[in-house]
């Protein structure tokens, strides 16, 4: 269990010792101007996520994905329902590196997206603290395809906050070739462009339709039968949806106290309202799993709101140490409760690092 706590305590230490917020971080973050300590965190994340061994509830399934590609052509790999993930599995099968190469490649994309998003916040270390307990530990280490898809989507969210709608759509397209469900984020581009909303609506609608036909249409029947008609349920779905709903409510209540551009305010307001809508959908949907999996794309809302909450509730651009400590304590409680009491946590424990396991085999 201790590796998960090391992963949490490192950003927590920097969050409480570097209390002064840093404005306008988005531009250097997008340009990859990571100082050495952030490069170190990136390497740590890639190694822990990429070389995890027998960690995650779907570990066996991911190994089978690689085995299926053993005698496949690259055309077969790219014809998979998630082409980029299929290509990674094909590379792993051809090179004999197994699931570890797949996980390592996914870790690079996911970690990059998460860290760029965190660096775009005034309190980047606090944003990373919020990311560790669930987004990184559970989602990225447990759901490889959707984890990397969410990480890439976060690059789009940073771009959209700057009013770069086209760049947002391109990032979402890349996210969708890892997991098609990322396409659900595309309509949000319209809400974030307050200057040319009609024009944006037209070209985003056309883009969405084309992507639906190319990527998602053939999967609709299997998604409906697999989730809706079979009434597939996820234990803990209500808690996970509520984890998005809490920061959503805080943002809507204190929205005027958040220092945001018009594009950012429009985008995150729509994200917040949708996060609350998931509570309703969870009650009326025959499949809590369907709602649960879609709501994963709203996890960045937690990072965005909770990392900015000290400024919203305290003095603007001040240290606001009490609120920073409160957010860190809240995240530590989530980390502690999940690792000790979650039904699925046994699949993550103990954490095993493949090079170490291989060395002692």
Answer whether residue 9 is part of any domain: no
CB 66 within 8 A of CB 87: no
Distance CA 112, CA 121 (A): 15
Q: What is the percent of the chain with per-residue pLDDT over 90, rounded to a whole number?
A: 55
200-227 pLDDT, tens digit each = 555 455 555 544 444 444 444 444 444 4
Residues ≥6 apart with Cβ < 8 Å to 126: 11, 15, 306, 307, 310, 324, 327, 328
Residues ≥6 apart with Cβ < 8 Å to 156: 167, 168, 169, 170, 171, 172, 175, 185
CB atoms under 10 Å from CB of 224, counted, come to: 13
Q: What is the percent of the chain with per-residue pLDDT over 70, rounded to a whole number?
A: 83
pLDDT value at residue 24: 54
Per the prediction, the chain carries an average pLDDT of 84
For 246-263, what is the mean pLDDT? 91
26-68 pLDDT, tens digit each = 444 445 567 899 999 999 999 999 999 999 988 999 999 999 9
Answer whether residue 157 is part of any domain: yes
Range of the domain at 170: 23-359
Angle at CA 334, nearest 5°, toward 34 and 294?
75
Instruction: DSSP letter for 152, please.
Output: H
Answer whether residue 312 is part of any domain: yes
> Please, what sign has the CA dihedral across residues 101, 102, 103, 109?
positive
Q: pTM, whole model, 2 decimals?
A: 0.89
Percent of the chain as helix, strand, coil, to the nearest 5 = 75, 0, 20
65-110 pLDDT, tens digit each = 999 998 889 999 988 878 999 999 999 999 999 999 999 999 999 9
Answer whether residue 5 is part of any domain: no
Answer whether residue 257 is part of any domain: yes
Q: What is the DSSP string of 290-306?
A: HHHHHHGGGTHHHHHHH
Number of domains in the chain: 1
Answer whether residue 1 is part of any domain: no
Answer whether residue 54 is part of any domain: yes
pLDDT value at residue 207: 53
Distance CA 54, CA 152 (A): 24
Query: Which carries the bigger pLDDT value, residue 250 or residue 226?
Result: 250
Answer whether residue 6 is part of any domain: no
Whether residue 290 has pLDDT greater than 80: no
Residues ≥6 apart with Cβ < 8 Å to 340: none
């Amino acid at each position: 269990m201790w590796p998960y706590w090391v992963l949490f305590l490192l950003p927590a230490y920097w969050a409480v010792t570097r209390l002064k917020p840093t404005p306008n971080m988005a531009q250097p973050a997008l340009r990859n101007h990571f100082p050495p300590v952030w490069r170190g965190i990136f390497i740590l994340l890639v190694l822990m996520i990429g070389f995890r061994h027998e960690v995650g509830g779907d570990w066996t399934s991911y190994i089978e994905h690689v085995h299926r590609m053993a005698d496949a052509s690259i055309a077969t790999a790219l014809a998979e329902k998630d082409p980029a993930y299929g290509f990674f599995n094909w590379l792993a099968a051809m090179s004999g590196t197994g699931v570890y190469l797949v996980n390592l490649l996914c870790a690079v994309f996911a970690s990059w997206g998460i860290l760029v998003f965190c660096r775009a916040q005034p309190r980047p270390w606090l944003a990373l603290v919020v990311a560790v307990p669930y987004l990184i530990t559970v989602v990225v280490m447990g759901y490889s395809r959707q984890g990397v898809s969410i990480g890439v989507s976060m690059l789009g969210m940073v771009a959209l906050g700057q009013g770069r709608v086209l760049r947002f759509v391109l990032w979402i397209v890349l996210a969708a070739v890892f997991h098609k469900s990322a396409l659900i984020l595309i309509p949000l581009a319209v809400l974030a462009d307050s200057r040319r909303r009609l024009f944006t609506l037209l070209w985003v609608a056309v883009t969405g339709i084309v992507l639906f036909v190319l990527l998602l249409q053939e999967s609709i029947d299997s998604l409906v039968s697999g989730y809706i008609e079979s009434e597939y349920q996820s234990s803990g779905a209500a808690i996970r949806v509520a984890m998005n709903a809490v920061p959503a409510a805080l943002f809507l209540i204190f929205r005027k106290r958040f220092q945001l551009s018009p594009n950012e305010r429009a985008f995150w307001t729509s994200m917040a309202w949708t996060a609350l809508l998931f509570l309703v959908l969870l009650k009326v949907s025959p499949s809590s799993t369907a709602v649960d999996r879609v709501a994963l794309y709203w996890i960045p809302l937690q990072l965005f709101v909770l990392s900015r909450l000290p400024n919203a509730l305290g003095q603007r651009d001040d240290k606001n140490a009490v609120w920073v400590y409160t957010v860190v304590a809240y995240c530590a409680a989530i980390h502690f409760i999940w690792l000790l009491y979650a039904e699925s946590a046994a699949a993550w424990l103990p954490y095993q690092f493949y090079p170490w396991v291989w060395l002692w085999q």
